[in-house]
Amino acid sequence: MDKTIKIATRQSFGEALKELGADNKNVIVLDADLSGATKTNIFAKAYPDRFFDIGIAEQNMIGIAAGMSTCGKIPFASSFAVFVTGRVYDQIRNSVCYPNLNVKICGTHSGLTVGEDGATHQMLEDINLMKALPNMNILSPSDDTQTKWAIKEAAKINGPVYIRLCRLATPLIYDKETKFEFGKGICFGEGTDATVFATGDMVYKALEAQEILKSHGKDIRVVDIHTIKPIDEDLIIKCAKETEKLISIEDHSIIGGLGSSISDVLTEKYPKKLIKLGANDFGRSGKAEDVLEYFGLTSNKIVETVL
């Protein structure tokens, strides 16, 4: 992990779209009046003919994307996670997932790190909503390198993908040459005292905790679950067998998120206790780091939980 380089995954997303657009003329980007914040404006500047600002009309944006995809286009429909999943759940359900169309749903500003805008904009139920839908795949990248991979990977999948992105700049975890595999988690370390499963902007917090715990004589492993659906069952079972404690951390509700997905696997395949760290209520206004602290989403909280 390189803490001297900090990049928000939404920024990586915008840049990746531009690269993708250069290679594939069928890539279309849609936004709902937030292109400056979602960073789709990077694509818009490079390929204005293939960028559509649908205005403040997310339902229509999803429907338009669905229609375009039936004509061979690969639309990336983008907005804040709260609007591009919750507000348009029925459109994604009936116009995208039921016909299994090749539409990519891109939610930036997911989770509590939206900060000052508060609960109305802090989306904590998007993983829950999206994973319940048949045919939907979910990617939740943790840094710049992985986000750039995730966008290209999403374009390769012929079907719906939800990509969960974050507002805050976070440290670079992976070097540019790292190879990722769809549906396969990434294990840091082989410690057996605990496994911390993390996703998105919580992965670097888990890695920080791993460092701190060394001074306490505890050796844990951190697992970056970048593909939440389909989830890496084999790795979850392996960690459950090899490590003493199981902990999950996510910038999402503890109901129906990463922890719940892991819990589903454990219940069926290898029953074992899992401690879920995440939000248990609507969010609130404050500096991002203060909001995370308020909900116990910190490296210190992971350390306490392991000890």
Instruction: Give me the active site residues, please.
Output: 58
Residue 12 CB-half CA count within 13 A: 29
The footprint of other proteins (CB under 8 A) covers 28, 49-50, 52, 54-55, 57, 59-60, 62-73, 75, 90-91, 93-95, 98-100
Q: How many CB atoms lie within 10 A of CB 23?
A: 9
The nearest distance, CB 293 to other proteins, in angstroms, is 39
Q: Distance between CA 70 and CA 176 in Å, rounded? A: 34
The nearest distance, CB 71 to other proteins, in angstroms, is 4
Place of tokens 């040459």: 177
The nearest distance, CB 15 to other proteins, in angstroms, is 23
Residue 23 CB-half CA count within 13 A: 9
Q: Distance between CA 244 and CA 52 in Å, rounded? A: 50
R_g over Cα of the chain: 18
Please, which residue, 28 or 297, has the CB nearer to other proteins? 28
Please, which residue, 43 or 204, has the CB nearer to other proteins? 43
116 contact partners, CB below 8 Å, separation of at least 6: 285, 286, 287
Please, which residue, 89 or 270, has the CB nearer to other proteins? 89
The nearest distance, CB 125 to other proteins, in angstroms, is 20
Please, which residue, 11 or 69, has the CB nearer to other proteins? 69
* Cα 131–Cα 135–Cα 139 angle in degrees, nearest 5: 50
Task: With both helix axes pointing from N to C terminus, report the angle between 258-269 and 233-242 in degrees, rounded to the nearest 10.
Answer: 70
Contact 123, 110 (CB under 8 A): yes
The nearest distance, CB 91 to other proteins, in angstroms, is 6
Contact 97, 160 (CB under 8 A): yes
Please, which residue, 67 or 118, has the CB nearer to other proteins? 67
